[in-house]
Amino acid sequence: MDPFMRATIDEARAGLAEGGIPIGSVLVHNGKIIGHGHNRRVQHGSAILHGEMDALENAGRLPASVYSESVLYTTLSPCAMCSGAILLYGIPKVVIGENQTFMGEEQLLRERGVVVEVKQDAECIALMREFIQASPELWNEDIGEEG
């Protein structure tokens, strides 16, 4: 497996082990991970720390030139907020673990010129399927749906 997708799934598993929502993300620049993240809704009582947002936050303040050479990895198709962050910073490519359990704003990203690669990775799908079945209310909260 792509080592960056492996690191992304490991982030999702770390979130699950903390009692959180198992979605992970890493930001990769020039073949190096510069930001690790996972969903922190439960851990930090956060409404904005989706996995992708956490990876961007942990990468810190960066010049536009770094984002424009980076790839964002995420275990799950990015929601409107995380897709908007990708567009804000002009990140040119997103590698997605799966979009079977949730379809985010992939079409909008493609329309705006972002390269979107979907792996349909069995481990990512199983992680989310099990989580959604176990904690449907938490999952609905995370995607702004009625519980």
Residues marked active site are found at 52
Cβ pair 52, 69 in contact under 8 A: no
Exactly one of 88, 103, 122, 126 binds a copy of itself (CB under 8 A); that residue is 88
Stretch 11-50: interaction string toward a copy of itself, x if CB under 8 A:
------------------------------x---xxxx--
Q: Determine the Cα–Cα distance for residues 25 and 124; give it in Å rounded to an integer.
A: 12
Three-state secondary-structure class, residue 81: helix
Pick the closer one to a copy of itself by CB: 59 or 124.
59
Query: Which of 14, 18, 19, 17 shows the shortest CA–CA distance to 37?
Result: 14
Q: Is 81 in the site for a copy of itself (CB under 8 A)?
A: yes
Dig out the tokens for 21 from the structure: 């929502």
Three-state secondary-structure class, residue 58: helix
Q: Which residues bind a copy of itself (CB under 8 A)?
A: 41, 45-48, 53, 56-57, 59-65, 67, 79-85, 87-90, 105, 108, 140-141, 143-147
